[in-house]
Structure formats: structure tokens, C-alpha cells
Amino acid sequence: MAHYTKVLDGIVIKIIAAEPDFFNDFIDDSPGEWIQTSFNTRGGKHYDCNTGVEDSGTPFRKNYAGIGYSYDSTRDAFIPPKPYPSWVLDETTCLWNSPVARPSDFNGANYNWNEETQSWDAVE
């Protein structure tokens, strides 16, 4: 099963799953371009669909596309929406990074990004 996205003005507006031999049965002729995406690709790495562990498969277009993602034809990559104005695009993964690294807390704490203070706030 392959996954395809409909991209209009650089933004993903639709995603379908179809067997490649039957793809033409599902496409429409509305404005936009159909581009294949890989369900097993994230951050420029390929992952086993059963275990979620990185494998030797070939990554495809940096990230699996989602509705609202942008498609950058120069990078040949799907890029998620920017979550906060201060975050910066990682050119290798085409994912957004906060300007301050998220704390690694092994006691089970969760954190939310605080754009106003440019820091991670612990959530209790």
C-alpha cells in the first residue's frame, strides 16, 4: 500500500492510501499535484512499520506528510507546520527544533514549551 498527498500551493490538503496499480482510480482532477509520501519516514530516517525501530529502508521525502504540512520541492521534503515563531527548521530532518533543548527528565516529568519565556515549563 502506498500513500499519496494532494498538494495545492505547497500545502498538503489530502492524503490517500492506494495500491500503486490502482492509484489512478482514486485521484481527482481538482487543482493540485499528487505526490507520494512514505508512512515509514520521519526526520529523514526510515522505520520498521511493526516495531517503530529505525531500519535500513530508504527514507522518502524526509517526513510522512500530514494535512497542513508544506511540501518543499527544492528539498523534496514534507515539513510540518511551524509550532512556534521561535523554532528553527533542522535542514537535515526537516523538523522544527526549539531554541532551547527540551529537558531530559527520567522521573516522568512532562514539559510544555513557553514561547513567552523561551523555556520549557514542567507540567504536574
What is the residue range of 113's domain? Answer: 83-124
Least confident of 17-21, 25-29, 92-96: 25-29
Q: Pairing relation of β-strands 88-90 and 77-79?
A: unpaired
Q: Are residues 9 and 68 in the same domain?
A: yes
Q: Are residues 77 and 88 in the same domain?
A: no
C-alpha radius of gyration, the chain, whole number: 17
pTM of the model: 0.87
- Distance (Å, rounded) from C-alpha 53 to C-alpha 70? 26
Query: How confident is the model at residue 94, as a pLDDT?
Result: 97
Q: Are residues 72 and 103 in the same domain?
A: no
Q: Are residues 77 and 98 in the same domain?
A: no
Does 27 have pLDDT greater than 80?
no
Residue 9, class by beta-carbon neighbours within 10 Å (0-12 exposed, 13-18 middle, 19+ buried)? exposed
Number of domains into which the chain is organized: 2
Q: Are residues 96 and 109 in the same domain?
A: yes
Q: Are residues 67 and 101 in the same domain?
A: no
Q: For residue range 28-70, what is the model confidence (pLDDT) as tens digits?
A: 888 999 999 999 999 999 999 889 899 988 899 999 999 999 9
Q: Are residues 113 and 57 in the same domain?
A: no
Q: Are residues 67 and 97 in the same domain?
A: no
pLDDT confidence band for 20 (50 / 70 / 90)? confident
